[in-house]
Structure 1
Amino acid sequence: MKKTSFAKGLLQALLLLPLTAFASGAEVHLDRAPVNFQDKESLQRGAAVFVNYCLSCHSANAMRYSRMTDIGLTESQIKDNLLYAADKPGNTMTVAMRSKEAKAWFGATPPDLSVITRSRGSDWVYTYLRGFYRDDTRPTGWNNTVFDKVGMPHVLHDLQGQMVPVYKTETDHEGKTHHVIERLELAQPGKLTLAEYDATVGDLVNYMSWMGEPAKAKRLYLGVGVMLFLFVFFIVAFYLKREFWKDVH
């Protein structure tokens, strides 16, 4: 009996460990990602950014180029503007970089991005891509407010420019002071203004969110139609039932 109680207590403790670890981590404010699958122009711009900036290191093996016809692109447009790493529109979005080389350069193999917004959340990815700042202590020269000590370099720095952190002092519950990042400031401008960069990242995250579940918009549309049908059918069935049973006492 004692062994059973001990095992039960140990199991409960192990189940609570992830919650404890999560609670002890610093809370990160996430900005709302502008996800709108009805905005086809945003999805098309995001697809172009993804192919030009993300696909050189990250793959999206669950996505085929030809699926972009669902966001309003023609097969000719896909071939002429997006088909850099593949021969045919029916190919998946693979990456030419070898995993062994990627691990040697970055310390870890860049993950596949097919469902990154489903696993991390669109808001997380949106905030992450806008959270890079210069940090000379890091091997790549970059760090991130959302992902501390990140191994990924800031591949969009030519668009955003170089951001530097502004620190503030906080006191924890033990009375110890810490320097924490209050905000990021632009130290060296990029090709875009900060507002234009945020809009570009918004398009990219919008596309990545769609890429993670391309059938979602159609499924939601069908779901609304089914619910409306069931509502109308319920009214018809209700009055039929009243008509059939009106003489039954």
Structure 2
Amino acid sequence: MKKIILTLIAALGIATGAQASGGDTVAWDKAPNHLNDLPSLQNGAKLFVNYCLNCHSAAFMRYNRLRDIGLTDQQIKDNMLFATDKVGDTMKAAIDPKQAGEWFGANPPDLTLVARSRSGHGGTGADYLYTYLRSYYRDPTKATGWNNLVFPSVGMPHVLWEMQGEREPLFDTVKQHGHDAKVFTGRWKQVTPGTLTQVQYDEAVGDLVGYLQWMSEPAQNSRVRIGVWVLLFLGVFTVIAWRLNAAFWKEVN
């Protein structure tokens, strides 16, 4: 129950993170493009189920749609489903929405389209999520013990901290409008190690964000592929139609 409550707080933090004013001071990192990498998407789906689905729902996504990223029904049953779920069910949060509303005054947001809901800094929602999930640091002054550079004073704990470990951002002190101000240097100090190295953690977050991006439009790879073939067909057909038109008017003249 404690894990569910903490993850719910995290969910509410993601939902309101886009409204944080302080996050505009940190540039977003470019999220890796894993939309055509099936093993990456499969790992992202596993991370989503294990760390996000306790409190978040994906009401517009069914488990059986994971076939599109190379999973069989048996693999979905063995690795993705809770005990009472079926392959044809939608991805519903493990927590009761009614209870969540009673406990916290609001239900956690649906994540089906979260990767498409934020843009800025010349980046996408995927870039925001990728930077956000890699910008946590310990802050004992906060109720959860965590803070975030992208979303200062975040109400969400770092649910992936065991993988990343604890880090500390490094700041420089500069003069701004006659006052000293701390400016993030872009560098971090590792305080305690996680179960993954920083490179491995970045890859894991990239997989999770890639899955969230894919989930926002599962048909996008097919749409792009079909679009390319349609454009090629139209190009070839245009040449054929032009030559037929020239041959027809040649006979008329």
Q: TM-score range by the shorter chain?
A: 0.7 to 0.9
- Residue 46 of structure 2 is aligned to residue 48 of structure 1: yes
SS at match of 2:29: coil
String of CA shifts for 1:23-48, please: whole Å, max 9, x gaps. Answer: 99743211111122211000001111
Unaligned runs of 5+ residues in structure 1 are 1-20
Does the CA contact (< 8 Å) of 2:61 and 2:112 recur in 1? yes
Other-structure match for 2:182: 179
Among 106, 116, 136, which residue is 1:132 paired with?
136
Code of the aligned partner of 1:228 = L
Describe the superposition over 1:115-154 as per-residue Cα deviations: whole angstroms up to 9, x where unpaired: 1101121110011110111011111111111111111110
The aligned residue for residue 205 of structure 2 is: 201
SS in structure 2 at match of 1:246:
helix
Which whole-Å CA distance do the structure 2 matches of 1:148 and 1:225 have between them?
A: 46
Query: Where do 1:99-248 residues align within 5 Å?
Result: 99=97, 101-102=99-100, 109-120=107-118, 121-172=125-176, 174-182=177-185, 183-247=187-251
What are the ranges of 5 or more consecutive residues in structure 2 without an aligned counterpart?
1-18, 119-124
Question: What is the RMSD computed on CA atoms of the aligned residues?
Answer: 2.3
1:84-124 deviations in whole A, cap 9, x for unaligned?
26520111111122346546776754321111101121110
Counterpart CA distance in 2 for 1:122 and 1:129 is: 11
Aligned mates of 2:138, 2:20 — CA distance in 1: 27
Relative to structure 1, the CA distance from residue 22 to residue 185 in structure 2 (aligned partners, 3 Å threshold; closer, same or farther) is: closer
Which sits farther off after the overlay, 145-154 or 216-225? 145-154
User: RCO greater where, 1 or 2, for CA within 8 Å and sep 6 or more?
Assistant: 2
Q: Answer with 1 or 2: which has the greater Rg.
A: 1
How far is 1:163 from its partner? 1.2
Tell me the equivalent position of 1:4.
none
* TM norm structure 1: 0.84
TM-score scaled by length of structure 2:
0.83
Shift of 1:22: 10
Distance in 2 of aligned mates of 1:22 and 1:189: 29
1:60–1:79 distance in 2 versus 1, CA, 3 Å = same
Total equivalences in the alignment:
228
SS at match of 2:242: helix
Deviates more, 1:232-241 or 1:34-43: 34-43
2:11 alignment counterpart: none
Deviations 1:29-74 (A, max 9, x none): 1111112221100000111111011111211111111000000000
